[in-house]
Structure formats: structure tokens, C-alpha cells
Amino acid sequence: MRTLATVWDERYCTAAARSVNSTTKQADVVAMAVSVLDVRPTTFDEEATWRDVAKVHLPSYAQAVRTGFPRSLAESQGFTWSPAFATALARIWAGQYAAAEIALAEGGFVFHPVSGAHHAGIGSGGGFCTLNFLAGAALRLIREGRVERVGIIDLDAHQGNGTFEWVRGEARLAHFDISGSSWGVDVTPKWATYRVAHNARQYDTALRELDAWLDDVRPSVVFYQAGADCWQYDHVGGITGVDRAFLARRDMRVLSALMVRNIPTVINLGGGYSGVAATLHAQTAVIAARLLNGDATLIEVEPDADPTVPIWRPRQREDLAWRPRHRHYGRDRRHAHRWGGGSWRVGPR
Ligand SMILES: [Zn+2]
């Protein structure tokens, strides 16, 4: 049986995200999917990685993330900075490029189980995202002349507003984004497709545009953000009617579309904050491994449990204070989640 090539380092995990699972869930995903994974050794040059980060992000921001100063900028994504967290971010940055190299060399799918890129912009983090390793690996591949065009398929439940800061000025960076709320930035270049889906039916309609987008932009390599925060009961995302079976069909559809076109693909996690997020991400890996073995039958998925499954909640509402930079509001006022363009601050107001 062919296993799924995987780039992974347990040092990716830290305690930086104290109130969400963003910096710990990766280990759970790897543990759940381990039987289908083939973890590859990679090398890590920290100095060279930070030099690369400073070519993509503003050097002052890269420096802040590396050193922790100024702290407000280093923690602009809403996490708690530490030296271990900074090194983990650099490892993830390098890992995304390493995963892309394997995908380009061998074809097929490479699993890089990380999240936390797409709200990070050129000069700051946002919405639990610090460094945009998607833009980083893509722009390096382009800069080095190794690919004609990189495609980012962002199926996290939120718009990849940070990624768009690079996409809007770079036609070799193509973007396909389905978001569960109308929050976001305007996206106009013809190499970017942005759709809003408020429920499973609209999501399905939007997903049907993927084939045309792939045939139009013809990416040399794709980074697929298989977001699990679209799951209907996810506290932070949550799109009506999107259950576990829907997400399995979504992943099958996306990965099949890439496979029939022979497009090397790196699969990342994206958001997913519920108690079943790691299970949903592992499900993506299993589907990819099955496809690599020529098995396109839908996997059997447990029906959704009722929404009382453990989900992330702030320990205290008062622990979370929002510092908006500009006005974009999430669809769901119940949770008052406002993404990007500012940052969650954990701690006293
Ligand atoms: Zn999200």
C-alpha cells in the first residue's frame, strides 16, 4: 500500500495558542492518521529560513516574530510569544517548502499537517495566523523559477485575507477561496476566485467552480487548505449543513480534481477548533492516501454527534479582548468573532 508522504516535526507544537487548539492539534492529527503516513526526514537551517521570511513579510515584522519585540507585533495573531514558538514558526515555514519540493519531485499528494497562515499579511499577523507560509513557499518556488504558477485552494471557513495581500499583485499566485461568511476583503484579479457559501448547498455550488479554475490557471503545484472549521458545529467557523460526510465528499472532490490533472499537491490543515477537528483533518489524510492507492470510494463517516461534543470556548469571555484595525464583522454575532485586520488579545483588557 502506498502511504502519504508527510513532512512533520513534533517541535511544530507549542503552548502559544493558549485558548485554541491551533498550536497543538497537529500532533493529534498525526497520531490519528499515522498508519497512512510516511514521515520524511527534512533539514532545517534556521538562519536561512528567517532570511527567507524577511523577503516575503516586512523585515521589521519578521524580526518582531523572531525576537518577540515589539511584543504587540509578535503577538498580533493573538498567541503568546516564546522563543520555542518563534522557532516552531520557522520550522513550519521551511517545512512547507520541503513538502512542495517532495510533491514536485514525486508527484501526488504530500501532507504537511499545519495551520495558521492565511490571515497573516505582509506586515502583521491576525486571526491565529502568524507567518504566511503559503505565500512564503509559493513565492520562493516562483522566485527560483521552479514553477510557473502556484495555486492555493483555501477551503478554511474564513477568507484568506492575508494571502490576498500577495495574490493581488502576483499573477503567478492563483487563489480559490470559499468562505462561510461575507466578511473579507475585495478580490478582483482574474486569477483569484472568491465565493461565499452560507450553507452546504451554496458550498456545493461554489465547489463546482474548482474544475474551471484549475483548467484556467493551470497551477504547477497546489497548496490545499483542507479547513475543518467549516464543520457545522465548529465554534469559530461552522457552515450550516456541512457535516462530516459533506467534508469527506469535499476532500474527495478536490483531491480527485487535482489527481486527474496530475497536479502535485501539498495538503495543509487550515482551521478547525471543535472537539472533532483532529478527526476531520485525519479524515482528509486517509482520503488522500486512499486516492493514491486508486481507491476513490467514499470513506464511511460517523454521523455527526449532537453539538454538545466538546468545543473550544474561551475560559472567560472577559479574557478575550478585540483590537480592531478596521471594520470587518463576522456573520455570527453570537460569538462576536471578527477575523483579520486586528487581533485577538488573550489576557486582561
Ligand atoms: Zn478559519
pLDDT digits (tens, 9 = 90+) for 175-196: 999 999 988 888 779 999 999 9
Q: Residue 298: its pLDDT value, please?
A: 82
**Span from the CA of 271 to the centroid of ligand 1 (angstroms):** 4
Regions in the chain scoring below 50 on pLDDT: 308-349
**Span from the CA of 247 to the centroid of ligand 1 (angstroms):** 15
| Domains of the chain (ranges, CATH numbers) | 4-346 (3.40.800.20)
Q: Residue 106: its pLDDT value, please?
A: 97
**Span from the CA of 227 to the centroid of ligand 1 (angstroms):** 7
Query: In whole angstroms, how large is the CA radius of gyration of the chain?
Result: 18
**Span from the CA of 294 to the centroid of ligand 1 (angstroms):** 31
**Span from the CA of 25 to the centroid of ligand 1 (angstroms):** 14
**Span from the CA of 270 to the centroid of ligand 1 (angstroms):** 7
**Span from the CA of 242 to the centroid of ligand 1 (angstroms):** 14
Q: Residue 27: its pLDDT value, please?
A: 95
Q: Collapse the DSSP code of 20 into the 3-class scheme (helix H, G, I; strand E, B; otherwise coil) and give the result.
A: coil
**Span from the CA of 155 to the centroid of ligand 1 (angstroms):** 9
pLDDT tens, residue by residue, 252-280: 999 999 999 999 999 999 999 998 999 99
**Span from the CA of 2 to the centroid of ligand 1 (angstroms):** 31
**Span from the CA of 134 to the centroid of ligand 1 (angstroms):** 15
Q: Is 181 left (phi over 0), alpha (psi -120 to 50) or beta?
A: beta
**Span from the CA of 47 to the centroid of ligand 1 (angstroms):** 30
Q: Report yes or no: 139 and 56 within 8 Å, Cβ to Cβ.
A: yes
**Span from the CA of 158 to the centroid of ligand 1 (angstroms):** 4
